[in-house]
Structure 1
């Protein structure tokens, strides 16, 4: 059965659907020697030859794909890009190596923001989780510097005008602090660039610390060190898939080779559920 080319490539982990649509439109993808066009359909067969930038890539039939998801604790200072021309650290540097697929980031965090960043091998899952129409909640712990009164909190809840349109927090909850240094937990259902910081700035308050602590119902795992990762189990992976109306997986384990690292305590195990801290985890559902 034929499928849209961008769907086949996204499922195989060669990028999110949006990324793949862009490279197809740029003429960088060929199918059996012919430049592909957006909307082309292909049937995955043993003889199918798909190239990106001239490089032959691996694709498999839908039933052969295994969706994997990592939870990564992004530290401040890392970039959400695969390669940085200035050689600065990126969020991909410490992820486990894969055979025949690659990790796709579910959204982005700016260089000065830390916390939960999800990665998956399924480009369609990544695309749906990021898309604003799905309204997947993101929760952040925010330390702010400045006077915060009831009027400002009302504005942030009801909506303020940003340069790219109106925006508002779905929820705002005071979580500690005194004077002009206070902590709040806020939620959004979209992921515009620097949206949390820009919302606070719109009411005259600066953000001095920003941590993403939850994506959907997947929290930042307790005890996971900065720069560490852990693989979601089958139930958690299927929770995310159900959230965005994708069919469930029946398997979640694939052999993985960890990149050599000098990080103390990093495990040499090939099991995807072992983080860089060496801890074993099977579940970290929010309580």
Structure 2
């Protein structure tokens, strides 16, 4: 069985009215041109091959097998022409992304680095770590912020819609931190953070708290929270009597920092990107 190697598109669902506005009122068959003197669009197997689904020959096998849909209709006719900028193309039910212009990266932001793309005061900033990408014409921006003293996972992209949704409170995207604090934590702290801490801008609650280690008056905690208020983890722990000495963000939703070295940059893989799209409904 031939497998599809396609990168899933960020939008798996399309509003029919939006598609109709782009296509006009012509039915599906009227929009595919086979044998015109001036054929329009591109051959479907060529589009599939360019998107990384399979070679042209293997794409033709997939079309014969009825595994390819265009605008919700199974296509079996070889040479069918499509417009990759308008038509919704799926292989085995998964929409194929034929637009590779968007970029997605994870930076392990070191301590002392500003979450900005440039800094008027000459301080180290995120932009210093993506200078090669921006010099080549990529316009990247960071998804949310980590304060200068906080380390760890920072998403960078030029996909504005995904970035906005990841930051929007509506989607409650979780973030996980490792917090090194003063004081030997116990069950009381876990309950306090889970039940909520009163801050000057309202109550803040942690979704999950785990005591990883404690020794000689210090503790290492794993804290998961979906809020995005400024310095929220530091403020919660300080209010609970356990001031933070070091804070590292290790995960956003299911995307993990892993063993990525401080200051290093890597591209998101397909499964990570698909998970982010799914959690924000794209």
TM-score, length-normalised on structure 2?
Answer: 0.62
1:89 CA drift (Å): 0.6
Alignment partners' CA distance in 2, 1:146 and 1:180? 5
RMSD across aligned positions (CA): 2.1
Match of 2:115 in 1: 80
Larger Rg belongs to: 2
| Unaligned residue ranges in structure 1 (runs of 5+) | 1-10, 12-42, 44-60, 247-287
- Aligned pairs (5 A) from 1:1-287: 64=99, 66-95=101-130, 96-98=132-134, 99-222=136-259, 224-246=260-282
Alignment partners' CA distance in 2, 1:228 and 1:147? 33
Alignment partners' CA distance in 1, 2:186 and 2:163? 37
1:179 CA drift (Å): 3.4
1:165 CA drift (Å): 1.2
The 3-state SS of whatever aligns with 1:97 is: helix
Alignment partners' CA distance in 1, 2:266 and 2:192? 38
Aligned length: 187
1:135 CA drift (Å): 0.8
Alignment partners' CA distance in 2, 1:244 and 1:150? 33
Structure 1 pair 180–143 and aligned structure 2 pair: CA distance change class (3 A): same
Q: Is the 8 A contact 2:109 2:152 kept in 1?
A: yes
The 3-state SS of whatever aligns with 2:236 is: helix
Alignment partners' CA distance in 1, 2:179 and 2:222? 6
What per-residue deviation string (whole Å, max 9, x for no partner) do you get for residues 162-184 of structure 1? 11111011110010121321101
Alignment partners' CA distance in 1, 2:107 and 2:115? 12
Specify which structure has the higher proportion of helix.
2
1:102 CA drift (Å): 1.1
1:101 CA drift (Å): 4.1
Alignment partners' CA distance in 2, 1:71 and 1:198? 25
What per-residue deviation string (whole Å, max 9, x for no partner) do you get for residues 7-57 of structure 1? xxxx9xxxxxxxxxxxxxxxxxxxxxxxxxxxxxxx9xxxxxxxxxxxxxx
